[in-house]
Structure 1
Amino acid sequence: MTPNATTLMKTVEQLGYRVTVGDVAAKAGLNINLAQQGLLVLASDAGANLQVSESGEIAYIFPKNFRAVLRNKDWKMRWQETLNRVWQFLFYLIRISFGIFLIISILLIVAAIIVIFVALNSKENGGSRNSRSSSYGGLRFIFVPRFWYVSDIFWLMNPRANYSTCQQKRYRQRQVARSSQEEQMGFLESVFSFLFGEGDPNYDLEERRWQEIGAVIKQNNGAVIAEQVTPYFEKLDRAALEDESYMLPVLAHFNGYPEVSEQGELIYYFPELQVTAKQATLPKPEKYLQEKPWRFSSATQEQLTLAGGLGCVNIVGGLFLMFLLTENPALVAEIGFLAWMNSISWLLLGYGALFLLIPVVRYFWIKGKNQVINQRNNERAKYFKQLKNASQQIQQKLAYAKQFAKQNILENKDLAYTTETDLLDQNLQQVDKIDEEWRRRLEGDN
C-alpha cells in the first residue's frame, strides 16, 4: 500500500468509485504524480477496472466493496486497523488518567486529614481509641459540618448537584438542545481537556490548502490566474506578488503550464485536472483559506468550572495536609499511612500546582496564537477582496484564461478500451463504430 492509501480510498469513495487522476488530485489536494502512482497501485490491489478513451485518458472504476477486498488481501492493512483501535483505547485511558489521579489525590488528602483529626481527637479524649461516638462527634465539630461525609466528594463531581429541580429541568433542556451529532465528553475526559485542550485545530492546514487550490482550478475548468490562488497563501512579499513565483509550487503540484498573452500577462492551465470521470456539481471552495482559532477546551462551562474547582480543592487540601503533617511529627512516626502520605505530599502538591498553572499558561499562549492567526486570515481576506473588486488588468487576465478552460468528461461512448469486458466482445460491440470510421476515411480519400 502507498503512503497516501488512506486518503486515496476516502477520496475514491467520496467521488463515487469512478475517478480520474485529476479528480483525485484536486479533491484530495495530492501531488498529481503521487495521485497517479497511488491510483495505479490501489487499482491493482483492489481489482479495479480501467476505461481508456480514444484520446488516451484513463478512468478507474473501483468496486464498492474494495476496502473489504484490500482488507482480505493485505495483512498490513488489517494490522494497521487493529493498531488504530488499540491506540484509540490507550489514548482514551491516557485522557481519563488525569481525572482519575485528581480524584485519587483529593481522596487521599481528605483521608489523611481525617486520620489526623481522629488521632488528635482520640488523644484529647483520654487516648481511648475505642470511643467511636466521641471520636466521630469531635471530628464533625472540628473538621466538617454535622451532615457532611467523605462520600460527598462524588456529589461535588456532579455538575448538576447544586441545581434545584427547576434548574435541573432547564439544564436537561439545554443538553437536549445540543446537536445530536456532538458527543459530550465525560467528566474524566473534560479534566484532560481543561489541562491540554484538544490539540492543533490546523493540523491539516497544508492538506486543506491544496484541496482548496484544486477546487478553484476545477471550478474554473482547469485554467486560472495567480490572483485566484493568492487567497490561499500567506506571507507573500511584494516581489512574490509581482513575479508570481508562488505559482511555481502549484504548477509542480498539479502538472500545470504557464501561458503568456500578447500583453505579457500570465495564466496557468492544468490539462490533467480538466479530465473528469463524470459531470458533477463541484463543492464551492472557500473564499480564502481560513485558519481555525485555537480553543481553550471543548468541554462545557460546567465541566471546566468543576475541574478548576477540584484543582483548587486539591492544592488547598494539599497545603493544609502538609501543615498538619509538619505540626504533628509524632503522628507521622506512629501511623504508617501518614508516613506514606508525608513521603508523597510533595508529589500531590506539585500535581495540584501544575493542574492550575498549565491551563493559565495555555490560556495566554492561545490568546497570542489566535492574534497571529487572525492577522493571517485578514491578509488572505484582503487578497480575496482585491480579486472580487477586479481591476481592468485582472479582468483581462480572466478573459484570457477562459480561452484555455475546458472540461473533458470521459463518457462510455468515447471509450476505446475497458477492462470490464473481453477485448473480442468490445470489438464486436464497436463494429458499427469501426465501419463508420472506415466509411468516413474512404469518403475523405475520394
Structure 2
Amino acid sequence: MTSRLPATAPVLMSTIEGLNYRVTVGDVASQAGLELNLTQQGLMTLASESGGDLQVADSGEIVYVFAPDFRHVLRNKFLRLRLQEVWRKIWRVLFYIIRISFGIILIGLIVAAIVAIIALALAAQASRGEDNDSDWGNIGWGGGSLGYWWHPNIFWLFDWNTGYGHRRRYRQPERPGETPQLNFLESIFSFLFGDGNPNADLDDRRWQSIGSIIRNHQGAIIAEQVTPFLDQTDTLLANESSILPVLLRFNGQPEVSPDGEIIYHFPQLQSTAESKRKKYVANYLEEKPWQFTQATTGQVTIAIILGIVLLVLGVMLQGMLATAGAVSGLIQAIALLALVYGIIYLAIPAGRYFWLQRQNQQIAARNQQRQDQAAQLDRVSPEIQHKLDFAKQFAAETIIRKQDLIYTTEEDLMPQELKQAGADWEKQLQDRHPEAP
C-alpha cells in the first residue's frame, strides 16, 4: 500500500496521545506548534486511516476522536511506520558503534605504534649484531610500562553507563535532567565532536511557546507578547511586521481599535475539545549555550594525554623510519596513520573550542535581546495596556462538549437526523410558548 501519511505524522500522533485522543485542530496546532492547514490535513488523514471519528458541533467546529490503539492500527497498516521504528533501533546501535570507534582507533594506533617502535628497535639491534636477550626483560610484556595496558578487565571501555575509573556499571541519573555519565570510549567521541546541537529543537520550542501564549490568552494577543520568541529587532517591533510569520502559521487576523492600535485574533485556536489549565511559558525564548563536552574532567585529561602520546609516537616512528633501511609497508602505514590521526585528533577539539566561544557569544547576545524585548511587556506602558484591554474584547474559548454536537461518525446518520429534528421542534415550541413547562 502506498503511504499517504503526512511527514508530520509522528508529531501529530504524539500530540494526540498527550491530549487524551479527543482534539480539535486548534488543540494540536497550538500544542505542537504546527501550521494550522498542515495540522488539519494531517488530522483528517490520520482519522481516515486509523478509523477515527469526527464530531461536528452546531458552531461548525470539528472534533477528531481517536482510539487509544490508533498508533498500533497505523503501524500495522503502513510499512513506513514499521520501518521507521526498526531504523530507530538499528541507528541507535550503529551510532553507538560509531561513537566508540574513534576511541578504539586511538588505542589501537597507540598499541600498533608501540609495537612498531619495538620492531624497528629490534631490527636495528639485529642489524648491528648485538645480543638482545638482556633487553627483553625491560620491554614489560608481563609487567612494567607496557604491562599496564593489559588491564584485567577491559570491558569497562565499552560500558554504556559508566565512565573511566568508576565501577557503577548501571548508574542512573540522580536528578531529573542530569546527563548520564559517558563511558571512556564515548568520552573520546564527545571530546572530539561534542554531544550535538543543544538548540536542535529551537524552532519547535519557539512555535510551541507561541501557540501556548495564544491559547493562554484565549486567541487574542498583541505583538509584544510573542516578539521575545522571534529573531527580530526593535525596528521590526515598532512596525509590528515581526508577527507576520505567526499570522501565517496560525491563520490569524489583525484587528484595529478606534485609536488605531492593532491586536491579533486567532479564531481557530479558540476552540478546544476540553477545558485546560493555562500552560506555563517562559518570558522569552532562551537558547542554550554550546557545551564543549559532557565528559568528565578526568576523561578529558586522559583523552588529551592519549592524543599527545599518539602524536609523540608518530613523530618517533617518522624519525626512526628516516634512519632505518628497508621497512615493511605495514610499519610505514602505522607511522603515517599515527602521525596524521594524532594531529587531527588534537586539532579538531582545539578548533571546535574557539568556534564554540564565538557561537556562545552570539547566543548570549540574542538571549539578551529577547530578554530586553520581554522587559517592554513587563513594564506595561499605557500604550501596551490599551492594546491589552482591546485584545480582551476578542478573547474567547469555545469548549466543544457532547451536548454541543449535531453529528458524529460514531453513530448512524438516520438516528442523528431524527434526534436533531426532534431537538429543533422542541426549540421552536419553546420559542413560541415560553410559558409552557
What is the match of residue 161 of structure 2? none
C-alpha deviation, 1:403, in angstroms: 0.8
C-alpha deviation, 1:288, in angstroms: 0.3
Listed one character per residue, the Cα deviations across residues 252-298 of structure 1 (whole Å, up to 9, x for unaligned) are 11111111111110011101000011011232112101111111112
Alpha-carbon distance in structure 1 between the residues aligned to 2:217 and 2:321: 75
User: Would you say 1:148 and 2:145 are equivalent positions?
Assistant: yes
SS across alignment from 1:149: helix
What is the match of residue 195 of structure 2? 198
Structure 2: gaps of 5 or more residues: 158-164
Q: Percent identity?
A: 45
User: Would you say 1:436 and 2:417 are equivalent positions?
Assistant: no
RMSD over aligned Cα, in angstroms? Answer: 2.9
What is the 5 A alignment of 1:5-154? 5-121=9-125, 126-127=129-130, 131=133, 134-137=134-137, 139=139, 147-150=144-147, 152=149, 154=151
Return the structure number with greater helix share.
Answer: 1
C-alpha deviation, 1:430, in angstroms: 5.9
What is the 5 A alignment of 1:373-412? 373-412=363-402
Q: 1:15 to 1:91 in 2, by over 3 A?
A: same
SS across alignment from 2:89: helix
Report the residue type matching 1:409 in the other structure.
I
C-alpha deviation, 1:436, in angstroms: 2.8
What is the match of residue 165 of structure 1? none
Alpha-carbon distance in structure 2 between the residues aligned to 1:159 and 1:311: 20
1:296 and 1:363 in contact (8 A); partners too: yes
What is the match of residue 160 of structure 2? none
Which is worse superposed, 435-444 or 194-203? 435-444
Q: 1:352 to 1:253 in 2, by over 3 A?
A: same
Residue 241 of structure 1, aligned match among 222, 237, 244: 237
Alpha-carbon distance in structure 2 between the residues aligned to 1:138 and 1:264: 90
User: Would you say 1:422 and 2:412 are equivalent positions?
Assistant: yes
Alpha-carbon distance in structure 2 between the residues aligned to 1:357 and 1:156: 31
SS across alignment from 1:437: helix
What is the match of residue 163 of structure 1? none
Structure 1: gaps of 5 or more residues: 161-167
Report the residue type matching 2:87 in the other structure.
L
Q: 1:326 to 1:157 in 2, by over 3 A?
A: farther
What is the 5 A alignment of 1:292-303? 292-303=288-299
Q: What is the count of residue pairs matched by the alignment?
A: 423
Listed one character per residue, the Cα deviations across residues 80-102 of structure 1 (whole Å, up to 9, x for unaligned) are 22233333332222222211111
Listed one character per residue, the Cα deviations across residues 33-53 of structure 1 (whole Å, up to 9, x for unaligned) are 111111101111111111111
Listed one character per residue, the Cα deviations across residues 219-256 of structure 1 (whole Å, up to 9, x for unaligned) are 00100011111111123242x22221112221111111
What is the match of residue 274 of structure 1? 270
C-alpha deviation, 1:114, in angstroms: 1.9
Q: 1:328 to 1:389 in 2, by over 3 A?
A: same
SS across alignment from 2:55: strand
Report the residue type matching 2:107 in the other structure.
I
User: Would you say 1:363 and 2:353 are equivalent positions?
Assistant: yes
User: Would you say 1:289 and 2:275 are equivalent positions?
Assistant: no
Alpha-carbon distance in structure 2 between the residues aligned to 1:359 and 1:61: 51
C-alpha deviation, 1:117, in angstroms: 3.1
C-alpha deviation, 1:358, in angstroms: 0.5
Alpha-carbon distance in structure 2 between the residues aligned to 1:138 and 1:426: 94
In the superposition, the TM-score normalised over structure 2's length comes to 0.89
Which is worse superposed, 9-18 or 89-98? 89-98
2:251 and 2:268 in contact (8 A); partners too: yes
Report the residue type matching 1:377 in the other structure.
N
C-alpha deviation, 1:189, in angstroms: 1.8
C-alpha deviation, 1:434, in angstroms: 4.1
1:159 and 1:306 in contact (8 A); partners too: no
Alpha-carbon distance in structure 2 between the residues aligned to 1:155 and 1:371: 46
Report the residue type matching 2:98 in the other structure.
I
Alpha-carbon distance in structure 2 between the residues aligned to 1:326 and 1:89: 43
What is the match of residue 207 of structure 2? 210
SS across alignment from 2:254: strand
